[in-house]
């Protein structure tokens, strides 16, 4: 049985996949975002509940955008 993921988990998973696909380290992404590597690590591991603003900054550091839909 597959586990249902939250919207936050989906966004974090996608950001992590993009980072890895780009061959970017957590440290380099952290530099681009203006944060510490430990914050990127905690984000990707699920040990951090990020604000939408932080997720947008991370996406921007990856050259991506976040789109939010209310349904």
For residue 40, the model assigns a pLDDT of 98
Question: Tens digits of per-residue pLDDT, 12-48?
Answer: 999 999 999 999 999 999 999 999 999 999 999 999 8
Half-sphere exposure of 41 (CA within 13 A, CB side): 4
Q: Is the pLDDT of residue 1 over 70?
A: no
Average pLDDT over every residue of 43-67 = 95
Kindly report the pTM of this predicted structure: 0.89
Angle at 45 between CA 39 and CA 51, to 5 degrees: 50
Dig out the tokens for 10 from the structure. Answer: 């989906």
Ranges of each domain in the chain: 8-61
CATH topology of domain 8-61: 434 Repressor (Amino-terminal Domain) (1.10.260)
Dig out the tokens for 22 from the structure. Answer: 């780009």
């Amino acid at each position: 049985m597959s586990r249902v993921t939250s919207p936050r988990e989906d966004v974090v998973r996608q950001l992590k996949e993009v980072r890895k696909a780009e061959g970017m380290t957590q440290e380099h992404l952290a530099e681009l975002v203006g944060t510490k590597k430990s914050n990127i690590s905690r984000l990707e591991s699920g040990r951090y509940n990020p604000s939408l603003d932080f997720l947008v900054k991370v996406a921007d550091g990856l050259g991506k955008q976040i789109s939010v839909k209310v349904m």
